[in-house]
Structure 1
Amino acid sequence: MKKLIALSCLFCGIFGSAQSQESYTLAENTAKSSFSIATKKVTYDDHLMAAQSFSMSAIESFDDIDGYVILKKLVAVPEEGNGYTIEKLTHSKAFLNPRAKTVLEKIAGKFLEENNATITVTSLTRSEESQASLRRVNSNAAKGESSHNYGASFDLSYTKFNDKYTYSASQREKLEAILKELQEDGKIYYIKEYKQHCFHVTVRNPEQFKSTTM
């Protein structure tokens, strides 16, 4: 009987140890996976694929915008909103897909709430024609198709707050912190464009990229 009890205790110890090791390994793998997602280098191809996932054709000409508005694929974005201002646009129009507009408003609202300051939108939806024209003056502008051609992207200045140019590292870092959190949550992609002093933001399609509620 004593031998049976001893064997039983030995088995429990081995089994418990195996379970603990399995749990530790699972937790370690989960942490590594999360770290990998958070540190993945985001490319312009990622932005383009995310924009194309909304099942909307690239806008060839600004004349096409009215049709997309009728189809409810695009919505107008006011020049001023809660926490943001759109500067004078030269190569884009103030339209976005409904999801992108909502995300822009929430980014701006959160920044305003946390910093009592507004952000500046420098670019929104472009046509393929305007994209080609922009490449002549902006080397960052994508050759061929851009995520801006699908109404899913917008650019946010990191040197212009409260509608004034201010090279504030603190404001820039606070805005990027909001974007980084959203990217890690699977809501957006963003790239810091140094030459244009802006964050290029593309909203991801929740139908294809599952994530937590914003």
Structure 2
Amino acid sequence: MNSRKKINKNSKRYIQWFGIVVIVLALVRCVFLGESVSPEFQDCQDVVASDAVDSLEDSSFRADAKVQTPTDSPVPSVSKTIDWSKSHRIRGVASFDKAFPDSNHVQLLSAKQWGVSPVKDREDAERRKCELVYIGSSPYYIIKPLTSSIPYLVPHAALLLEDIGRNFMDSLQVKGLPLHYIVVTSVLRSEYDVKRLRRHNGNATEQSCHLYGTTFDVNYNLYAKVTDPTECPKPDYGEARYKQVLSEVLNDLRQQGRCYVKYERKQPCFHITVR
């Protein structure tokens, strides 16, 4: 009987201590629960904080962009640092003769390096199509009806002509000028064409760069409207802006080492050979 009472007494003590321990652990967990956050919850908090910061930064960026746009804001502070009316003004070159002095001798060396062997006549040129590229159609330039040359160039020169026409249109667009095509007036010439030209053209030479398919002439007085490409281009000597824009394009490409350019006076054209 005494042994049963002793066991019951010990059991009660054990249960009491067990209950105390459980309560203490529960209190400790409650106290430190706020300091132990699950990784998932912490990641969620980080995302929310990051989104809040990004939202503030985006708002700041939009506000700055609005201030920096001259058409959207009357604030004159931007115009004090950036002259929007002159950001795309026509610069041109100071002197056409000085900017484009490359003689036939200089261009001939490059023509022989990059070009094909001279063609004898048109039939010979037709047989050389594997070496030449047809340039009779392009969205960036037009070719005036040819009487002393045929519309073929070596690929290297054809790419240069394409870039000149594209850059010219891009420049007109940013300057707010109506889009026009440049007009190509001479391309690949046969030996027969050169002989015939020399009879009435003082600029024509027996050692012509046009023989090699590396050279073309762009008239600086003729420009065709993009709105009506079928209209025959006519000289407009009073409109010097297009000539100045074209000179900018050619001067940039020449400075990049992509071409030689000669400013011709007797025949109003830029005489261009690929490099």
TM-score (norm 2): 0.56
Q: What residue number does 1:207 align with?
A: none
Deviating runs (4+, > 6 A) in structure 1? none
The residue that corresponds to 1:76 in the other structure is: 134
Name which of 151, 170, 173 aligns with 2:213.
151
Q: CA deviation at 1:109?
A: 1.0
1:134 maps to which of 180, 187, 197: 197
Instruction: Give, in whole Å, the separation in 1 of the partners of 2:200 and 2:244.
Output: 27
* 2:269 alignment counterpart: 198
Q: Percent identity?
A: 34
Higher mean Cα deviation, 85-94 or 49-58?
A: 49-58
* Structure-2 change in CA distance of 1:41 and 1:195 (3 Å): closer
Give 1:125's aligned residue. 188
Secondary structure of 2:242's counterpart equals helix
Q: Extract unaligned runs of 5+ from structure 1.
A: 1-37, 205-214
CA contact (8 A) 1:119 1:160 kept: yes
Secondary structure, counterpart of 1:89 in structure 2: coil
CA contact (8 A) 2:100 2:261 kept: no
Aligned residue among 112, 132, 150 for 2:169: 112
Task: Quote the Cα distance in structure 2 between the aligned partners of 1:201 and 1:127.
Answer: 18
SS in 2 for 1:161: strand
Q: Give aligned pairs, total.
A: 163
Within the candidate set 208, 221, 235, 1:165 is matched to: 235
Instruction: State the one-letter code of the partner of 1:93.
Output: I
- Any gaps of 5 or more consecutive residues in structure 2? 1-97, 173-178, 225-232
1:58 to 2:128 alignment: no
Instruction: Please state whether the residue corresponding to 1:165 is helix, strand or coil.
Output: coil
TM superposition shift of 1:147 = 0.7
The answer as to whether partners of 1:60 and 1:128 remain within 8 angstroms in 2 is: yes
Q: Which residue of 2 aligns with 1:97?
A: 154
- TM-score with structure 1 setting the length: 0.72
How far the C-alpha of 1:56 sits from its partner, in A, is 2.2
CA shift, 1:62, in A, is 1.6
Matches within 5 A, 1:25-36: none
Q: Which amino acid aligns with 1:149?
A: L
Q: Give the C-alpha shift of residue 113 in structure 1.
A: 2.0
